[in-house]
Structure 1
Amino acid sequence: MSSEDQTALEALNFANLGLSPKVLSAVVDAGYTTPTPIQAGAIPHALQGKDVLGIAQTGTGKTASFVLPMLTRLEKGRARARMPRTLILEPTRELAAQVEENFVRYGKNHRLNIALLIGGVSFDDQEKKLERGADVLIATPGRLLDHFERGKLLLTGVEILVIDEADRMLDMGFIPDIERICKLIPFTRQTLFFSATMPPEITKLTEQFLHAPVRIEVSRAATTATNIVQRLVKSGSKPWEKRAVLRELIRSEADSLKNAIIFCNRKVDVSELFRSLIKYDFDAGALHGDMDQRARMTMLSNFRDGRLKLLVASDVAARGLDIPDVSHVFNFDVPIHAEDYVHRIGRTGRAGRSGKSFTIATKSDTKNVDAIEKLIGQKIEWHDGDLSTIFTSEGEEEQPRRGRAKARGEKRGEKRDRKPRGERHATPPVEPTAEDVAEQPSLVPAEVIEARRQRKQAIRSENSQRKSGPEEPGREERPARNDRPHRRRDDEANTVVGFGDDMPAFMKVAVKV
């Protein structure tokens, strides 16, 4: 899309896009008048029934670009039991619940049945909604296929299919499920496909399931918003060193930090970092995939309403969460996949606001940092110097492994004098002397040391007397172990087998023949 076309689209308002009066009224009540570029480009084609391929960075209003035209088209017709009219596929429960909120907000003038099929919720409640007939079905792929295999859902009546956050679907391994679902839906459907990045696997998927799609790309794929200040922060490789760097960053940004999302690569790191922040009196919460649905929604609600200042999360929270006013994003771990960086920092700077992102990097993260800079097409500035100089906790500059021998004044290949293995780390405790006590009054007093010395000497002398003195009366000398006769080596000729002379009485009873 050229710059002139994009300027023309941005000059439009919602009234010129062809939406119905009911939808326009709800949009105005929500406080919106001018559509975003992705909305202005996708809505007219979606209203015409064309397939749309939308590519835009997060926070640009992709959700409304398919919710609004779907509401306009759903004003005619009625859903039948177990046969939804439209289907929206989302990669996570949070995104699915968020899309449902958008349908409730913009569809307040409509009487539509909306069904939400996600994990962590009772099957019975979801089946009741399907039995009433769903005009809009919002689901995650796994739960959708569960209902289909139970025979509670038919997909032959789907008119519009929306695949949202397709690149996240790829990362989570949902592509086989997406292919299976697309084969269960009529060939004549309309497909709306949205993604922030377009890796080769996603491009292949669009060629397979989209028919002559209209490509709406409001920005280069995998770019970051210009209103987000991005910085890299150096750190040591130890987890506690990274936690110390993060705490210092949070304290230094105290004046401008309203709230922040802190991203970790693993769920176990989320739990550890959350406990560490609580220990240091930070107002923090945690969000990861092992939490049940009610706890996750409660945590998100508390953060969105301002009852929590910091939210430690895994990548489950990185895609599409609509928290409009997040001032900071901290990447505690550099994301393994470069595309995740775009989605993480996209949680701040939404709807034209300014934001900041800080990524804590160690020397082992150099490869991932290079991949991120290559993807976004720009260099990320360092906050306080790059990784060429890392300072340890003692304040000494950490030297590279190859330069340590040179710093010690040794020649390359020269062997160092090493102590035996058992003597390298073990150092015997040293008893303070009288001079030490005189110089350092805080040590153990001299009279206590002398009493201990005399008691030890008495114990040693008593032990030595026992070893060298006469034996105690009544105590016989035990033979050596090798000279003792074996318990089973008695005179085998006199060994009695059986009962011997003691015959039991029951064996002496006369038996009648």
Structure 2
Amino acid sequence: MTTQPDHITLPDDDGDDVGTYVPEAAGPVTPPSFSDFGVHPLIVQALADSGIHAPFPIQAMTLPVALGGHDIIGQAKTGTGKTLGFGVPLLHRIVSPTDPGYDDRPAPGKPQALVVAPTRELANQVMGDIKTAASLRGIRVTAIYGGRAFEPQLEALRAGVEVVVGTPGRLIDLAGQGHLDLSYVQTVVLDEADEMLDLGFLPDVEKLLAMTPASRQTMLFSATMPGAVVALARRYMTQPTHIRAINEEGDSGHTVAAIEQFVYRAHAMDKVEMLARILQARERGLTIVFSRTKRTAAKVADDLRERGFASASLHGDLGQGAREQALRAFRAGKIDILVATDVAARGIDVENVTHVVNYQCPEDEKTYLHRTGRTGRAGNTGVAVTFVDWDDLPRWGLINKALDLGIPDPAETYSSSPELFSDLDIPTTATGRLPRSERTRAGLDAEVLEDLGETGKAHRAPSRGGNDRSRGDRGGRDGQRGGDRTGGGQGSAPAASGDRPARSRNRRRTRGGSPQGS
């Protein structure tokens, strides 16, 4: 695989972009190991122990700049390793409790690095990846996000932590209460930076940055980085270097070349039948089905379970315990279909996701990129299928034009269309139900639902309304502060408009205040 970069833009003394750095003149872009960059040996060993030996392009291009403490705007397609692109240099610069002179620091035990993510799921995942790389150095990493009880997070901060990964709402809460001290942070990372700065997070980001030293290193990473967002980001950075990487020679498009894309004009009444057949494609592994609404996600997951598939929903009306239960079951293979709103589209990395299905057309090209980027990750191949309703044709036209996909007019397709079976390698005998002989998954109930001490939910019946506080579904500030306001089970979202309340009252007819009838 050729790991030729698109460009690395270097700033001049005034912070303006000048010229283009050509890596060939400075040696190979991707060396055999992280150690060739001078990364701490214990970090290199920890990565090797987890099966990571050579850096991806975005990592190889980022490390020489980031290890020097320079500010970075990092851009690469989804699934190309951005987390370690900032995680490895972040950890390299940290003074570990096992390092000589740690106790001589001004404030041992205070956070030295802060990573901010837009969703709880992404924060949890980033924390896990950084923990893996830090495991042999003794660096303490903790996640701070809403939907969980405050006490365990406070205990972790009191015990001492070097890296904090969190969502803006809970971070600001704890910092405002004096539990989180960011005055000794030397590195700040905004993951999925376009989301952080573009859609309502800017005031929170400004508050958090104001709590950190002006001399900090700032790194922004995302798959999409519009020019306006880049200009906005540079207000908070010092002479940033803009690094943009591609995967392989000739892969100059917006989407990863390893993802095979199919787009069908589908009738709303036939979508579940089409989906049921797609889910029986040969060599299908884990699959994520995306919807635009929480109601649809819950309804589709229920329909698939009724048809024999091991599925679960993931959306903002679920409590944090139920959301994490669904993700754990999905990663463990107890279920193989996750029906999710865009709360799961940003940065979630699950191995062996072979198919992504857009059950409802994405809102825009950025959402399309992040949804389809859940497959074809880390050098693997994947399949992305998009259903386009008749009403969504104008929206799809804009997405197709923006990404230059070459599919301006999707073919009208039904669950019985031969091309559906041939395109996706579906057995011609497949029907709308999974044969009993193939129902081998343990299911969601096989995964334990943890009691996270979720805030704002004690002794309340599950909400039947759409009062969602999840940032991933564009509600509330970021869904992290104060936790979800709704129930924590998979059934907490309405499956249909005719759902009844959890409780009902027996009423007696009266006339003039006296009971009537017997």
Q: Give the TM-score of the pair, scaled to structure 1.
A: 0.71
Q: Aligned residue for 1:58? A: 78
For the 8 Å contact 2:42–2:136, the answer to whether it is kept is yes
Structure 1 residue 339, shift from structure 2 partner: 0.1
CA separation of 1:172/1:272 partners in 2, compared to 1, >3 Å: closer, same or farther? farther
Matched position secondary structure for 1:351: coil
Which residue number corresponds to residue 321 of structure 2? 294
Q: Which residue of 2 aligns with 1:23?
A: 43
Give the corresponding residue for 2:156.
129
- Tell me, yes or no, if structure 1 residue 48 matches structure 2 residue 48: no
Q: Are the structure 2 counterparts of residues 278 and 261 from structure 1 closer, same or farther at C-alpha, using a change threshold of 3 Å?
A: same
Query: What CA distance in whole angstroms lies between the structure 2 residues aligned with 1:350 and 1:2?
Result: 19
Are residues 87 and 274 of structure 1, via their aligned partners in 2, closer, same or farther at CA, if it must alter by over 3 Å? same
Deviation at residue 308 of structure 1 after TM alignment = 0.8
In 1, the alpha carbon distance for the partners of 2:157 and 2:415 equals 60
Q: Secondary structure at the match of 1:352?
A: coil
Correspondence 1:36 to 2:56: yes
Judging changes above 3 Å, is the alpha-carbon distance between structure 1 residues 221 and 368 closer, same or farther for their aligned structure 2 residues?
farther
Question: Which residue pairs with 1:386 in the alignment?
Answer: 411
Q: Does 1:5 align with 2:48?
A: no
Taking the TM superposition and a 5 Å limit, the aligned residue runs for 1:440-459 are none
Deviation at 1:8, TM superposition (A): 2.6
- Asked whether the 8 Å contact 1:81–1:132 carries over to 2, the reply is no
Contact 2:197 2:233 in 1 (8 A): no
- SS of alignment partner, residue 9 of structure 1: coil
Measure, in 2, the Cα distance between the counterparts of 1:373 and 1:225.
15
| Equivalent residues of 1:235, 1:360 under 8 A apart | yes
1:245 to 239, 253, 274: 274
The change in CA–CA distance for 1:381 and 1:278 in structure 2 (over 3 A counts) is: farther
* Contact 2:116-2:168 at 8 Å conserved across structures: yes
User: Hey, what does 1:144 align to over in structure 2?
Assistant: 171
1:57-76 alignment runs, 5 A limit: 57-75=77-95
Q: Are the counterparts in 1 of residues 273 and 415 from structure 2 also a CA contact under 8 Å?
A: no
CA distance in 1, matches of 2:275, 2:142: 41
Instruction: Report what 1:461 is aligned to.
Output: none
Distance in 1 (alpha carbons) for counterparts of 2:187 and 2:415 = 57
Q: Distance in 1 between matches of 2:252 and 2:242?
A: 12
- Mark the runs of 5 or more structure 1 residues left unpaired by the alignment: 394-513
Distance in 2 of aligned mates of 1:89 and 1:185: 13
For residues 403 and 139 of structure 2, the distance between their equivalents in structure 1, rounded to whole angstroms, comes to: 41
Identify the structure with bigger relative contact order (alpha carbons < 8 Å, sequence gap 6+): 2
Q: Distance in 1 between matches of 2:414 and 2:40?
A: 62
Q: CA deviation at 1:201?
A: 4.1
Root-mean-square deviation (Å): 2.4
Aligned residue type for 2:232? L
Give the 3 Å change call, closer, same or farther, for CA 319–2 of structure 1 in structure 2: closer
- Partner deviation per Cα, 1:367-388 (whole Å, 9 max, x = no partner): 2212222222231387xx624x
Q: Which stretch shifts more, 48-57 or 175-184? A: 175-184
Q: Which has the larger radius of gyration?
A: 1
Equivalence for 1:264: 291
Deviation at residue 16 of structure 1 after TM alignment: 0.8
What is the letter of the counterpart of residue 72 of structure 1? H
Q: How does 1:114-513 map to 2 (within 5 A)?
A: 114-170=141-197, 172-219=199-246, 223-236=254-267, 238=268, 240-251=269-280, 253=281, 255-380=282-407, 386-387=411-412
User: Counterpart of 2:411 in 1: which secondary structure?
Assistant: coil
CA distance in 2, matches of 1:131, 1:15: 34
1:115 partner SS: strand
Amino acid at match of 1:189: R
Structure 2 CA distance, aligned partners of 1:99 and 1:181?
19
**Could you give the per-residue CA deviations for residues 194-230 of structure 1, whole angstroms, max 9, x where no partner exists?**
0111124422322211111111100399811101100
AA aligned to 2:90 is M
Does the aligned pair in 2 maintain the 1:222–1:375 contact within 8 Å?
A: no
Give ranges in structure 2 of 5+ residues lacking alignment: 8-21, 417-518
Tell me which protein shows more helix as a share of its residues. 1
Residues in 2 aligned to 1:276 and 1:95: alpha-carbon distance in whole angstroms: 27
Secondary structure of 1:91's partner? coil
SS in 1 for 2:220: strand
Q: For residue 23 of structure 2, what is the amino acid of its counterpart? A: D
Distance in 2, matches of 1:228 and 1:221, equals 14
- SS of 1:327 mapped into structure 2: strand
Q: For the residues of structure 2 that align with 1:163 and 1:57, how far apart are their CA atoms? A: 16
User: 2:461 is matched with which residue?
Assistant: none
Contact 2:400–2:408 at 8 Å: present in 1 too?
A: no
Aligned length: 385
CA distance in 1, matches of 2:178, 2:125: 27
* Secondary structure at 2:218 match in 1: strand
Verify the 8 A CA contact 2:6 2:244 in the aligned structure 1.
no
Alignment check: 8 A CA contact 1:12 1:40 kept = no
